[in-house]
Amino acid sequence: MKVNSEIKNHHPLSAGNLWRGVKHNKVALIGAIVLVVFFGAAIFADRIAPYDPQKTSNETFQPPSQKFLFGTDDLGRDVFSGVIYGAQTSILIGVSVALLSGLLGVFVGSAAGYAGGIGDDFLMRLTELFLIPPQFFLALIIAALFGSSLFNLILILTITSWTAMARLVRAEVLSLKERPFVEASRAVGASPTRILFHDILPNAFPLIITKIILMVGGVILLEAGLEFVGIGDANRISWGYMLHNGQHFIRDGWWIIAFPSLALAALVLALNVVGDALNSALNPKARAAHFDKAV
C-alpha cells in the first residue's frame, strides 16, 4: 500500500513528497503548524483582531489583561491587534517580494547560464556590483529617496533581493545543460527556448522553489529592519513600526516591544525550519540550507 503511493507520487513537488519531508521531522512539523497559524491570522485579521490596530484610546500603557491580551502602547493602541495585522503586512511583503525577486533571479540566472559568453559576463558583473552595497543600506537609501509606500517597498526589496537566486539558477543551468538528456533534445533539433523551458528549468524547479521559501524569512527581516529605522508605509501597521515606536517606551511596558519582536522571530524561525526540511527533502544532494539574513 505504502509503496504504491510512493511510486505514484514520484514528482519531487508532489504533496506526498512535501508531506514526507515534513512529517518525520517533528521540529518542521511544529514549524508548519506555526506557519498555518500566522497565515490564518494574516488572512482573517479583520475577524480575529478585537480592535482597530491604528485606533488610539485613553487606556495607555495597559499591561496584558483579558481585555487587552498583549497590553496597549503609548497611544492606547491594542498590541494584540497590531501583532495580528502586522502578520498581514509581513506575509504580504515577504511572499510577494520572494516570488517577484525569485522570478527576476530565475530570468537573469537562466539567461546568463544558458547564453554564456558576453551576455553571461555582463549579467554576472552586474550581479557582483549589486552584491557590494549591503542589501539593507541599498534598500534604505532607495526608500529614503523614492518614498516607502507599500508598493514602493515591494519594488525596492525586489530590486535588492534577486542576486542570490540569479547565481543559484545560473550554476544549476550550467550544470544541467551538459547532461545527456539536454544533448538528446539538442540532437533532435529542439530550439534553445524549448530546451530551457522543457528540459532545464523543470529540473531546476525543486531548487528554485525551496530557495523562494527560504527567501521569505530574509525579506520579512529586512522589511522589519527598514520599518524599525523609521522607513515604511504609514498607512499600515507592521511589526517593525511597532518596534520603532515602542523602543522609546521600553521602560514603560515590556509588552509593547516584546510581543511584536517574538512574533517576528517566531514567524521567521518557522519559515526557516520548514524551508530547511524541504531543502533536505527536495534537494538531497544540496548542502545545508543557506538562510538569507541581511539584518
Task: List interacting residues with other proteins (CB under 8 A).
Answer: 128-129, 132-138, 140-142, 144-147, 217, 221, 224-225, 228-231, 243, 247, 250-251, 254, 257-258, 261-262, 264-265, 268-269, 272-273, 276, 287-288, 291, 293-295
Half-sphere exposure of 68 (CA within 13 A, CB side): 22
166 vs 204 by CB, closer to other proteins:
166
What does the block give as the cell for 134? 549591503
16 vs 147 by CB, closer to other proteins:
147
Least gap, CB of 270 to other proteins (angstroms): 8
Least gap, CB of 89 to other proteins (angstroms): 15
152 vs 203 by CB, closer to other proteins:
152
**DSSP labels for 233-252?**
-TTS--HHHHHHHHGGGTTT
110 vs 135 by CB, closer to other proteins:
135
Angle between helix 163-176 and 201-228 (nearest 10) = 170
Residue 199 near residue 181 (C-beta atoms within 8 A): yes
Angle between helix 79-115 and 150-161 (nearest 10) = 40
140 vs 173 by CB, closer to other proteins:
140
Least gap, CB of 184 to other proteins (angstroms): 35
| DSSP-assigned letter for residue 203 | H
Length of the chain: 295
Q: How far is it, in rounded angstroms, from Cα 147 to Cα 139? A: 11
Least gap, CB of 291 to other proteins (angstroms): 5
| DSSP-assigned letter for residue 97 | H
Least gap, CB of 246 to other proteins (angstroms): 9
